[in-house]
Structure 1
Amino acid sequence: MEFVNNSCLLLLILFTFLFYTKSNFVLRPTNQITHAGSTIQHSCSVMTVPVFIEWYLNTNKIGSCLFQTNTTTNTFGDPKFQIIIGQYTEKLLPICQLIVTNIDFVDTGEYKCKTIHHDSESDTASAYILVSYPIRKLELHIDNETSLSVGQRTYIECQARAGKPAPQIRLNLGGLPISEARVVQKVDIEDKFSQLK
């Protein structure tokens, strides 16, 4: 019993430490869901002036901002990944921004900002970017309009055209799922196509 109490106390102390530890970040990357072809922007700035800030996509280094020389590097060599160095205007702190233009599905992943300080200390903040296909077409067809009697059946066809992942369609009536709906998933040559009947 004492072991359980000590374990619970240790977990409580650890949780309290993690929960109340003040973050050094003034600006950090944020989770986003976006569509192919769009642009995302992340900013990274900390309370203490770092030597440099590095950006990563998953484990691959994208580039960095070196504040002593006011220069940036782009390790990817891809022009759609832009690294911009500047100052956070409210506090006049150095800021390193990552802009990804014309984002694609292969750009989905964890974007990480890593700060390196004079004493070799480092801080890391990360966010996830999910690039998804937008729903391009949504149609609803009802064969006998909307007037039904109890026990009467109807045919409702709902089509959603999108890409990856295939759209999931549900029909609700009064906020509750329709219990006897039959879902038919069809794939056409161009896109994923879901149909609910």
Structure 2
Amino acid sequence: PGLAQARADQPDVMRGEETQLFGVTEPGFSGIVCIPGTHSKWIRVEAGAVVAFATYMTGELFAVISQHSILMHAVEPDAAPAEDGASFRAGLASALSSPASLTSALFRLRAAQLLGFEPRSEGAARLSGLLIGSEIADARMRFGSDLPLRLIGAGRLGRLYREALTASGFTVNECDAELASRQGLIKAARQIWGARF
């Protein structure tokens, strides 16, 4: 059924992620849950109750920027990420140190390639670092970084977020996204049908 944050200053909705959230939290859990994706969710939980959450269009922005902006010329859609992840970490560091300069940093990505400082094959990694770093910088300001953090992730995106969150000062407890969904559905079924399930 979803959740709504019916606040005029920070309206937000969640449709589906609450199942994963339910799957990875206990009744007395207090902390932050991060669910990366097309529309990443950050949720603050106190004593098992959701007290605030925020949605970041990070994944959607990556798709729009890399396919429908001038940066489409700076990103190779099928390029394999560099082994050492240096471009991702550089984009992340830039966004974390100066999140308000994101739009300028995005253009510098293209300018660096035009001037021969970075190859096009590194564009996707740097763009990911900039966008994920911007998301984390804002979420850290909203929710703090001193609480336990549960990351509900999978695959390459989960690994990128784990690296970025750790670099940002969070202590990360990672949970598999598919397992979180299954656990959430099982918990919901047990609450509805009791021990029969």
Identify the structure with bigger relative contact order (alpha carbons < 8 Å, sequence gap 6+): 2
The question of a shared fold, defined as TM-score above 0.5 by the shorter chain, is answered with no
User: Could you say which TM-score interval applies, normalised by the shorter chain?
Assistant: under 0.3
The structure with the largest alpha-carbon Rg is 1
Q: Which has the higher helix share?
A: 2
Normalised by the size of structure 2, how large is the TM-score?
Answer: 0.22
Q: Which has the higher strand share?
A: 1
Normalised by the size of structure 1, how large is the TM-score?
Answer: 0.22
